[in-house]
Amino acid sequence: MLQEGARLSVTDVNGYQTTHVAAQYGQTAFLYHIVTKWSANPDVCDNNGRTPLHWAAYKGFADCIRLLLYLNASRGRQDKQGCTPLHWAAIRGNLEACTVLVQAGKKDDLIVSDNTGLTPAQLAADKNHKQVALFLGTARKLLDRQDGKSFLGKFSKLGLAPLLWFIILLLLMTYIHSVVMAPNLPRLTAGLGLFAWIGVFLTTVGLVPFYRCSRMDPGYIKINIHDPENMKDEEPLLKIEMNNPTLLAGNWSQLCVTCKIVRPRRSKHCSTCDRCVEQFDHHCPWVSTCIGKKNKWDFILFLGLEVLAMLLTGAVALTRILTDPMAPSSFGAWWNHVGGQHIGALSFVIADLFILSGVVALTCVQASQIARNITTNELANVMRYDYLRGPGDQFHNPYDHGCKNNCSDFLIKGYNEDIELLEAPSTEHEGIGMIQPHCGNLPNAIVGLSHKTNGNAHVAIDVNISKHDGYNHCSHHDHSHSRKIESGPLGFGRNSARPAVVFG
Ligand SMILES: [Zn+2]
Ligand SMILES: [Zn+2]
C-alpha cells in the first residue's frame, strides 16, 4: 500500500496516525519498519495530545517503548490531561513500562504533575498499584542520590576502592611491622625470610592490576546521544541504523534507552556507571567500576596475586607466632602471652584469614565462570536471556567452547570473543561444532524466529532464515509480516469501567 502511495500521515477521527495504531497494538517491528523505511513520524500527537509513546506506555508494550525512546520520542510530553507517558504507565500499573521509562529518564520525569497535580507515583498509589508505586518511590530516591549533592551520593560515586587501598596498605604495614620485623620475635631465618618478603612483593605487585582494573575502561560501549534541538528535522532519522540485524530479528531488549544504542548481546547497562558495558560481569563497588570485557583479566590477576600473598603472609605470621621461643608452654599462659606481646601479628592473622576466605570464594567463582565462558550477570539472569536457552528450554551456553579453549583464550588474549558455537542440528550438515562469528542473530533465529518479548504477548517479527548450512548469517533478512493483530477496545481511561473508545 505504501508503494502504491498510501500516506502514513493521514489521521482518523481521533487524530491517530499509523504510528499511533502500531503503538496501540504493540507492533514494534512494523513501527521500526515504517519509521526507518518510510519516514513515519514516531512522535506525533493525536487529538488528545498523545503520542505513540503515550499509547505504548498505556498499553504496557515495553519493547515498543524501548524502540520509541531509541527513536527519540519525547518522554516529557504532556497530553491534554497533563499526563506524560510515565503517568499513563503508572495509572495502568505497567511495571515493565515504568521501568523502561524511568531507566531512560531523569528525575524530572518522576516529579512532573498532571492537571490534577499528581505525580506518576501518586497516581499508581491511587490506583492501588502498590508495586509500581513502590518502584517509582525508590527510583526517585535513587535519582536523588545520583544527583551527587548528598554525602551518600558523593560516596556512592566514589565507591569503595579508596577504602580497599587503605585496608591493603594498612595490612601490609602491620605485617611488616608486627610480623616480619617484630622487635619481640627472633630474627627471621633465611628460608622464612624469603617467603615473608615474597608475600610483601606479591601484595605490592597485585596493586598494579588493582589500579589498572579500577581506572581502565571496562568495555564501555560508545553512546549515541541524539540531540534533537541541534539537528535539522531529518537528521535524527539519518542517525538511526536502517538495517540493524538485531532489530530486524526483533531483539528489542538489546536497545539501550539510556545510551540510545543497539548494544551487543552480552552487554548490559550499568546503572551505577550509567553506561553499557561489553560482556558485563558485575559492578564491583570494591574496585569502583564495572567488571567487563576489557578489565576482567586485570581483575582476575589482582584476585590471584592477592590470594597468593594472603596465603603466604598468613602462613608466615602463624609460623612466627607459633615458634616464638619466649612463649610459655601452658595454653592459658601462651594465649595471654600472644595477646599481650603479639597483638599486632594476631590481629593481622585474623584479618588476613577473614578477607582470604571471601577473596578465595570470589576467585573460585570467577575462575569457574571463565572456564565456562559465562558472566556473573548471565548466570544471574539465565531465564531472561533467550540465547542461553537451547532446545526444550534447557540451559545452553552458545559461547562455551570447552574449558581448555575458554581458559586459553582468556589467558592469552585477555578476554573471550563472543563467538557462538553452533551445533549443526542434523546429519545434513557437516562440520558440527564449527565456529561462527556472532552477528547479532539469536540461536532461535535459526528455526524461524518467533521472538518472545518480555511478557508482552505479542510477536515481533518473522525472520526468514535460510538454513542451508546450519549457520547464522550476517546478511540482512527480509522482514515484514507483523502478525496477530490483537483485537479489543482501545482508549485511555483512568477508570477501567469507563466506556473506551473502540478502534476498528
Ligand atoms: Zn546503556
Ligand atoms: Zn558499573
DSSP run (H or E) holding 420: strand 419-421
From the list 108, 137, 105, the residue with the least C-alpha distance to 121 is: 137
Taking every pair of Cα atoms in the chain, the longest distance, rounded to a whole number of angstroms, is: 101
Q: Are residues 36 and 185 in the same domain?
A: no
Query: How many domains does the chain contain in total?
Result: 3
Statement: residue 459 has pLDDT above 50: no
Place of cell 518522576: 110
Q: Are residues 298 and 415 in the same domain?
A: no
Higher pLDDT, 102 or 450: 102
Statement: residue 430 has pLDDT above 60: no
| CATH code: domain of residue 35 | 1.25.40.20
- pLDDT tens per residue across span 27-57: 999 999 899 888 899 999 999 999 999 999 9
Cα(276) to ligand 2 centroid in Å equals: 8
Ligand nearest to the CA of 214: 2
The residues carrying an active-site annotation are 284
Per-residue pLDDT, 185: 86
From the list 169, 179, 177, 174, the residue with the least C-alpha distance to 206 is: 169
Q: Are residues 342 and 390 in the same domain?
A: no
Is residue 388 within 8 A of residue 395, CB to CB? The reply is yes
Per-residue pLDDT, 438: 42
Q: Are residues 348 and 452 in the same domain?
A: no
- The rounded mean pLDDT for the chain is 81
Per-residue pLDDT, 274: 87
pLDDT band at 282 (very low <50, low <70, confident <90, very high): very high
From the list 262, 266, 261, 240, the residue with the least C-alpha distance to 250 is: 262
- pLDDT tens per residue across span 160-201: 999 999 999 999 999 999 999 988 888 888 999 999 999 999
Per-residue pLDDT, 450: 36
What does the alpha-carbon distance between residue 62 and residue 102 come to, in Å, rounded to a whole number? 12
Within a domain: 250: no
pLDDT band at 491 (very low <50, low <70, confident <90, very high): low
Within a domain: 484: no
Per the structure, the complete domain to which residue 378 belongs is given by 159-221+263-384+401-410
Cα(240) to ligand 1 centroid in Å equals: 16
Rounded to 10 degrees, what is the CA torsion of 28, 68, 457, 17? -60
Q: DSSP strand E in 210-350: where?
A: 255-256, 261-262, 268-270, 275-277, 282-284, 289-291
Which DSSP string corresponds to 111-138?
H---TTS--HHHHHHHTT-HHHHHHHHH
- pLDDT tens per residue across span 201-238: 999 999 999 999 999 999 999 876 554 444 444 444 44
Statement: residue 383 has pLDDT above 60: yes
pLDDT band at 431 (very low <50, low <70, confident <90, very high): very low
Q: Are residues 165 and 291 in the same domain?
A: yes
Cα(69) to ligand 1 centroid in Å equals: 12
Within a domain: 416: yes
Q: Are residues 406 and 395 in the same domain?
A: no
Within a domain: 4: no
Statement: residue 476 has pLDDT above 70: no
Q: Are residues 69 and 102 in the same domain?
A: yes
Within a domain: 101: yes
Within a domain: 504: no
Cα(254) to ligand 1 centroid in Å equals: 9
What does the alpha-carbon distance between residue 384 and residue 266 come to, in Å, rounded to a whole number? 12
Within a domain: 232: no
Per-residue pLDDT, 492: 67
Ligand nearest to the CA of 284: 2
